[in-house]
């Protein structure tokens, strides 16, 4: 009986994190990172949105300012970065702060990629080549590849990670979701969707997961816009509109600690191993919101 309960997906208690969306200036970042660490949150994710703040620089600072917090980068745009540079940066951070870095790569926003002259004719081909080469480099291999977009000749890291971090690959469309399972160790879903759509997305990933050495479970992280307070529902609806999304069941969460914890547990029951909550752009007390999540919401998740 105990073994059956342990293996049931509904028993999953996801890790809880906060997304640092670069809508506040970099000089405010340290206090928010400290709030995440001190409040007991499991993860903090930084975005590498053009042309705002560097994901790698932000992640390095967050790791240096903390002792236990896991720090994710979601997502480094493959068209913007040479894969060897990305591998060097990930490997350096992983060796400095072992076991706490969660690097992620994705297509990048195509309009932004066009602005810098790096828009790929086939984003899927680029991401496949990029993630495959990146993962091999992080596992200490010497890589030679002649691809459509990625070309390396006898490239190997002098200081590869002692234990390679899980490589997150993110995206939204069905073809990209399948690709994340094939070439990544973990998947980042940009947003929580309506329940049935979320189940379909997770199933697409699961069906395409390639067996990895050691039988490592494929992790799935999902983002969710959240707010608390008397005007929480209105602020969540307004934030969804900013991102071109409509309010719907399972899309965004507004309410007290119990309400938010119940939504996080729901996402865990669907198969998400971590849930990254994103405050609204007009959150009046971002540090207070982070502490609310760590001190009031997180303790409810195991109940």
Q: How far from 286 is each of 32, 73, 235, 279, CA to CA, in Å?
A: 8, 20, 14, 7
pLDDT digits (tens, 9 = 90+) for 70-88: 999 999 999 999 999 999 9
Asked whether residue 54 is domain-assigned, the answer is yes
Q: How many CB atoms lie within 10 A of CB 229?
A: 15
- CA 31 to chain centroid, in Å, comes to 21
Per-position DSSP letters for 93-107, written without gaps between them: HHHHSTT-EEEEEE-
> Does the pLDDT value for residue 7 go beyond 60?
no
- Is 274 inside a domain boundary? no
Alpha-carbon gap, residue 199 to 177, rounded angstroms: 12
Domain enclosing residue 103, as ranges? 10-221
In a domain? residue 233: no
Domain-located, residue 271: no
Residue 30 has pLDDT above 60, yes or no: yes
State how far the Cα of 44 lies from the Cα of 216, in Å rounded to an integer. 22
Distances (CA, A) of 230 to 234, 236, 247: 9, 12, 18
Q: What percent of the chain has pLDDT over 70?
A: 95
- The 8-class DSSP code of residue 298 comes to G
CATH number, residue 182: 3.20.20.30
| Cα–Cα distance list, 79 to 24, 126, 127, 243 (Å) | 25, 8, 8, 22
Average pLDDT, the chain: 93
303 located within any domain = no
Distance of CA 105 to the CA centre of its chain: 9
**239 in a structural domain:** no
Question: Are 32 and 291 spatial neighbours (Cβ–Cβ below 8 Å)?
Answer: no
Banded pLDDT at 2 (limits 50, 70, 90): very low
Rounded distance, CA 13 to CA 269, Å? 8
> Measured in Å, how far apart are the chain's first and last C-alpha atoms?
20
Is the pLDDT score of 106 beyond 50?
A: yes
Distance CA 153, CA 130 (A): 14
Statement: residue 145 has pLDDT above 70: yes
- Report the pLDDT value the prediction gives residue 276, as an integer from 0 to 100: 98
2 or 228, greater pLDDT: 228
Where b means 16+ CB within 10 Å and e means fewer, 159-174 reads: ebbeebbbbbbbbeee
Distance CA 74, CA 202 (A): 18
CA distance 277 to 75: 16
Q: Average pLDDT in the 110-129 region? A: 96
Structure tokens at 276: 């990254």
| Count of domains forming the chain | 1
Instruction: Examine the pLDDT at 279 and tell me if it is beyond 60.
Output: yes
Q: How confident is the model over 161-216, as pLDDT tens digits?
A: 999 999 999 999 999 999 999 999 999 998 999 999 999 999 999 999 977 655 67
Whether residue 240 is contained in a domain is answered as no
Cβ-based neighbour number of residue 300 at 10 Å: 15
- Mean pLDDT over residues 296-302, rounded? 95
Phi then psi for residue 114, to 5 deg, are -65, -35
Q: What percent of the chain has pLDDT over 90?
A: 89
Is residue 108 scored above 60 in pLDDT?
Answer: yes
Q: Number of C-alpha atoms within 13 angstroms, CB side, residue 218?
A: 27
Is 63 a member of any domain?
A: yes
């Amino acid at each position: 009986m105990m073994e059956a309960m342990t293996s049931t997906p509904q028993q999953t208690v996801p890790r809880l994190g906060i997304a640092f969306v670069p809508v506040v200036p970099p000089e405010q970042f340290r206090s928010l990172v400290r709030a995440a660490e001190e409040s007991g949150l499991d993860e903090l994710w930084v975005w590498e949105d053009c042309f705002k703040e560097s994901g790698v620089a932000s992640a390095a600072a967050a790791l240096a300012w903390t002792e236990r917090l896991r720090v994710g980068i979601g997502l480094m745009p493959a068209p913007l970065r040479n894969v060897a540079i990305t591998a060097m940066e990930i490997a350096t951070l992983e060796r400095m702060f072992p076991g706490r870095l969660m690097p992620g790569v994705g297509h990048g926003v195509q309009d932004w990629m066009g602005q810098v002259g790096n828009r790929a004719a086939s984003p899927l081909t680029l991401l496949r080549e990029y993630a495959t080469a990146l993962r091999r480099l992080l596992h200490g291999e010497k890589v030679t590849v002649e691809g459509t977009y990625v070309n390396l000749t006898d490239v190997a890291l002098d200081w590869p990670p002692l234990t390679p971090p899980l490589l997150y690959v993110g995206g939204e469309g069905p073809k990209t979701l399948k690709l994340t399972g094939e070439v990544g160790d973990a998947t980042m879903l940009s947003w929580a969707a309506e329940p049935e759509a979320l189940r379909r997305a997770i199933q697409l990933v699961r069906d395409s997961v390639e067996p990895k050495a050691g039988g490592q479970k494929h992790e799935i992280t999902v983002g969710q816009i959240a707010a608390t307070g008397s005007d929480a529902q209105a602020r969540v609806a307004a934030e969804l509109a900013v991102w071109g999304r409509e309010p719907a069941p399972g899309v965004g969460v507004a309410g007290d600690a119990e309400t938010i914890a119940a939504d996080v547990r729901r996402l865990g029951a669907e198969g998400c191993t971590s849930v990254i909550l994103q405050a609204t752009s007009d959150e009046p007390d971002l540090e207070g919101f982070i502490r609310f999540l760590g001190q009031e919401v997180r303790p409810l998740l195991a109940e």
